[in-house]
Amino acid sequence: MPSNQQLNIVLIEPFFTGSHKSWAEGYKKNSQHNIEIISLKGIYWKWRMHGGAITLANMFNKHIEEYGIPDILLVTDMLNVPVFNSFAKLNNIPIISFFHENQLTYPWSTQDRDKEKNRDHHYGFINYTTALRSDKIMFNSNFHRNNFIEALRKFLKQFPDYNELSNVDIINDKSIVAYLGLDLKKFDQYKIQANNQIPIILWNHRWEYDKNPEDFFKYLKEIQSKGIDFQLVILGEQFDTEMDIFTKARETFQNEIIHIGYCKSFEEYARWLWKADIILVTTNQDFFGASIMEAVYCGTHPLLPNRLTYPELFKNEINTNHFYDNNDQLVAKLTNLLNNKKFESLESYTQKYDWSVIALKYDDVMIKLIKDE
């Protein structure tokens, strides 16, 4: 099959919001293939991973009645593929699953109804059987792939018998790394030259527990107590019930905060990223790190924990000034940055994640799968 041949792809997304929505729409917009999205609203994530598969199968069946059978089905990790398969008229259509995250290693939330010591295993098992049923699995980083495979082996060993450990190797063999695509070039038109007399520290993540705002504000308070000047920009959507840590931060850092809350437009968001000097990262969970990649593309100096996906994406062995191994290093390196104001951009590491590059790689994966069928 010629590499420029257009395929018909149906993309199934049970949780069509946030980064999942951006990814689906970004690939559809930038792919050489014809992609149609079938989705459900991004709420009630647990119900989406259970009942969503039946609803989406019905929607898919109506789609093929009208448009015909696609060449490939591209789904995300929140689809229960075996259940979907039971109701959808698949006709041996090859399935590729893209894993944004997984429920085997996603950190437990204190706000979760499940008790930490007695968490049910439904959602990790859905990820497992989805991967097993898929013809190809795309992970958004090497870290994520290795993280999932290692956790899956331990997960299956806990069951009393017939734990089918050989399936872990089967899943690993049909897994590839396909980094997240981002619309980075859209930031270019809003570029400004930052010349801040007082350095600006940026937060541009979700206001949720797994991004670890507790440590972020804890160490900024330590910097504050030293009398070191900095300004603070806190971007992100606050919900009806704001996390206490952000409410307290409004008061603790009232003299440092120059913006806090959701940006009303993409232009406003982009300009804050271009204006900021440092992005300080304390997160406990990231299988890729889209918000960080955006900020680094806009020239901020990233200060990153030497774990998760960051060493892979930003080359920790080369860029040692951008990584910390412990909290003392974090404070020391941040103090040095604020005092000396010598910021180093790692923007060159981000360009390969723009959709103009990534979409071509995804397209090749799709074509190769069809060739191998």
pLDDT tens track for 156-195: 999 999 999 999 999 999 999 999 999 999 999 999 988 8
Structure confidence at residue 107 as a pLDDT band (50, 70, 90): low
Q: Is the pLDDT of residue 114 over 90?
A: no
Give the percent of the chain with pLDDT over 90. Answer: 88
Mean pLDDT score across all residues of the chain: 94
With CA atoms as reference, report the closest residue to 212 among 261, 295, 279, 284: 284
pLDDT at 84: 98
Span 81-106, average pLDDT: 95
Q: Is the pLDDT of residue 240 over 70?
A: no
Structure confidence at residue 2 as a pLDDT band (50, 70, 90): very low
Reduce the secondary structure of the chain to three states and give it as a string. Answer: CCCCCCCEEEEEEEEECHHHHHHHHHHHHHCCCEEEEEEEECCCHHHHHHCHHHHHHHHHHHHHHHHCCCCEEEEECCCCHHHHHHHCCCCCCCEEEEECCCCCCCCCCCCCCCCHHHCCCHHHHHHHHHHHHCCEEEECCHHHHHHHHHHHHHHHHCCCCCCCCHHHHHHHHCEEECCCCECCHHHHHHCCCCCCCCCEEEECCCCCHHHCHHHHHHHHHHHHHCCCCCEEEEECCCCCCCCHHHHHHHHHCCCCEEEEECCCCHHHHHHHHHHCCEEECCCCCCCCCHHHHHHHHCCCEEEEECCCCHHHHHCCCCCHHHEECCHHHHHHHHHHHHHHCCCCCCHHHCHHHEHHHHHHHHHHHHHHHHHHC
pLDDT at 194: 83
What pTM was estimated for this model as a whole?
A: 0.93
pLDDT digits (tens, 9 = 90+) for 269-320: 999 999 999 999 999 999 999 999 999 999 999 999 999 999 999 999 999 9
Q: Is the pLDDT of residue 115 over 70?
A: no
Phi and psi at residue 75, to the nearest 5°: -125, 165
Q: Which amino acid is at 311?
A: P
For 86-95, 200-209, 216-225, 239-248, which range has the lowest pLDDT when averaged over its residues? 239-248
pLDDT at 320: 96
Span 57-80, average pLDDT: 97
Q: Is the pLDDT of residue 110 over 70?
A: no
Q: Is the pLDDT of residue 198 over 50?
A: yes
Sorted by where each starts, the structural domains of the chain and their CATH numbers stand as: 8-181+354-372 (3.40.50.2000), 185-352 (3.40.50.2000)
Structure confidence at residue 241 as a pLDDT band (50, 70, 90): confident
pLDDT at 1: 43
pLDDT at 340: 94
Give the percent of the chain with pLDDT over 70. Answer: 94
